């Protein structure tokens, strides 16, 4: 059988990375050809294995999506919600994973543009955050060109389905099936009892007008400050043309992960 060419990506700040990488190289050598690690030359890779926490996968995901390379996540962090494997389970499932048609999820992502600048891909979410001195923001929303009510609060989160279990869930947004063709608009600390999160069709186009901002108001994409936002600026969000193929673990499901890692519906105790 011809070996599958794979690039190994890792968060070198994690102490266990070298040990995990060594075990994968030993356990997969019969099926996998590990390519030299050069993120600038992925042309020969059929798959990428990322070792680390969810942040590692989010860091590499947009780059891999643009190049059409499926991602295998190997967790070395605490939660590992996006990383579907540990080293042992990946080696155990290697026949299914390193085949011509591994089980995958096509994860939609968002394209985010400030005014008319170059767009950026968000794998999990794009957030408009109030920032210092933390006065209430005033944001004008429009969906598909139709004005929506003004929003007063600490900001908003626009989340992909796979990002719905992250910051979106922590501020009361809904958890969305990762295969759904939708994304979520969730207000943060809205100054109204009538404001609720909205689940939008994946083809919706959202424009946010910054009507009142703070000195530190920012656009945060996947946990990193992307740019400062000032009054008069616009943020445009729509579905990206790119999707990320996330390789799934045949022995586990999304719903298992919700129960095991987010303790879905667990009783108090």
Residue 269: what pLDDT?
65
Q: Lowest mean pLDDT: which of 91-100, 208-217, 235-244?
A: 91-100
pLDDT score of 143: 97
Cα(224)–Cα(62) distance, integer angstroms:
14
CB 241 within 8 A of CB 203: no
pLDDT average, residue stretch 168-176:
95
**The whole model's pTM is what?**
0.91
pLDDT score, position 263 = 75
Instruction: Point out the catalytic residue in the list 11, 30, 41, 54.
Output: 54
CATH 2.60.200.30 range(s) for the chain read 109-241
CATH architecture type of domain 109-241: Sandwich (2.60)
Residues of the chain with CATH 3.40.50.10330: 4-103+248-261
| Residue 90 backbone phi and psi in degrees, to 5 | -65, -40
Whether 164 contacts 199, CB under 8 Å: no
Whole-angstrom Cα distance, residue 169 to residue 118? 29
CATH classification code of 4-103+248-261: 3.40.50.10330
Summarize pLDDT for 36-95 with one digit per residue, the tens: 877 667 888 999 999 988 888 999 999 999 999 999 999 886 666 788 898 999 999 999
- Residue 30 appears among annotated catalytic residues: no
Residue 163 has pLDDT above 60, yes or no: yes
With pLDDT > 90 as the criterion, what percentage of the chain qualifies?
75
The confidence band for 265, taking pLDDT boundaries of 50, 70 and 90, is: confident
Encoded tokens for 119: 């767009």
Please give the share of the chain, as a percent, with pLDDT higher than 70. Answer: 97
**Looking at 108-117, 157-166, 251-260, which range is the least confident one?**
251-260
Rounded CA-CA distance 146/150 in Å is: 12
> 216-227: per-residue pLDDT in tens?
999 999 999 999
Strand 234-247 to 206-212 pairing:
antiparallel
Task: Report how far residue 138's alpha carbon sits from residue 213's, in angstroms, rounded to the nearest whole number.
Answer: 7
């Amino acid at each position: 059988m011809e070996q599958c060419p794979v690039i190994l990506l890792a968060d070198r700040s994690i102490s266990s990375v070298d040990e995990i990488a060594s075990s994968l190289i030993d356990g997969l050598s019969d099926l996998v050809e590990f390519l030299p690690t050069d993120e600038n030359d992925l042309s020969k890779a059929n798959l990428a294995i990322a070792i680390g926490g969810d942040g590692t996968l989010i860091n590499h995901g947009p780059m891999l999506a643009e190049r059409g390379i499926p991602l295998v996540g190997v967790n070395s962090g605490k939660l590992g919600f996006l990383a579907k494997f540990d080293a042992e389970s990946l080696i155990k499932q290697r026949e299914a994973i390193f085949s011509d048609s591994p089980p995958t999820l096509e994860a939609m992502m968002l394209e985010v543009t400030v005014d008319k600048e170059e767009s950026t891909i968000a794998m999990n979410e794009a957030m408009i955050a109030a920032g210092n001195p933390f006065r209430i923001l005033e944001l004008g929303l429009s969906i598909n060109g139709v004005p929506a009510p003004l929003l007063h609060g600490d900001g908003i989160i626009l989340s992909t389905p796979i990002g719905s279990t992250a910051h979106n869930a922590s501020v009361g947004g809904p958890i969305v099936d990762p295969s759904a063709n939708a994304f979520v608009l969730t207000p943060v600390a809205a100054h109204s009892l009538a404001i609720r999160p909205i689940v939008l069709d994946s083809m919706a186009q959202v424009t946010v007008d910054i009507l009142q901002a703070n000195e530190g108001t920012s656009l945060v994409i996947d946990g990193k400050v992307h740019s400062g936002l000032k009054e008069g600026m616009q943020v445009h969000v729509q579905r990206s043309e790119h999707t990320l193929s996330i390789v799934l673990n045949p022995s586990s499901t999304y719903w298992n992960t919700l129960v095991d890692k987010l303790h879905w519906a667990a009783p108090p105790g």
